[in-house]
Structure 1
Amino acid sequence: MGFKLVLNVLYTMGVALCFIVAYKMFVTHQYLIMACAMIVGTVVIFLKLRLLKEVKEAQQPAQKENKSKGAK
């Protein structure tokens, strides 16, 4: 689980970096690099969402087990 936390932080930093680069390239009128940075940022967002979904699904069975133990 620690690896997934680190991966989530790296994805967040990657998204921020991509959109900062995209903004700087927009200001300097280098639209090709801006478009590439936005595409990479979008892919990183997609990967981040998949990771969050995976973590959420991994936690749900554990929560169900805890509820059933408390009822007995």
Structure 2
Amino acid sequence: MKKLLFIFIFLLLPIPAFAGEKEELTCKQELINKDMIILELQSQVLQFQYNNKQVEKQVVQEKLKALEPKKEEGKE
């Protein structure tokens, strides 16, 4: 009877361990998914900032080009 009880307990012990491991892995997966979402949003923010800097650069270059003829006229 003790052997049967021991075998029964021995067989039931891994079930909570596997359930706990599955829960832990599920939580890790959720954290990874959230981290990926955060990284994607950060990437979008960086792309937006980069595009804004490109526009600023173009505006500055256009202003510089607009000033060049005026400087040349002043030298003559």
* TM superposition score normalised by structure 2: 0.52
What SS is found at the alignment partner of 2:54? Answer: helix
Consecutive unaligned residues of structure 2, counting only runs of 5 or more, are 1-13, 62-76
Percent same amino acid at aligned positions? 7
Greater relative contact order structure (CA < 8 Å, 6+ sep)? 1
Choose 1 or 2 for highest CA Rg: 2
| CA shift for structure 1 position 68 | 2.3
Query: Aligned equivalents of 2:54 and 2:27: distance in 1?
Result: 41
Instruction: Decide which of 26, 34, 44 is 1:57's aligned counterpart.
Output: 44
Runs of 4+ in 1 over 4 A off after TM superposition: none
Query: Aligned equivalents of 2:30 and 2:56: distance in 1?
Result: 40
* TM superposition score normalised by structure 1: 0.54
| CA shift for structure 1 position 70 | 2.3
Instruction: Decide which of 11, 14, 21 is 1:34's aligned counterpart.
Output: 21
Query: Aligned equivalents of 2:30 and 2:48: distance in 1?
Result: 29
Partner of 2:55: 68
Q: RMSD of aligned C-alpha atoms?
A: 1.3
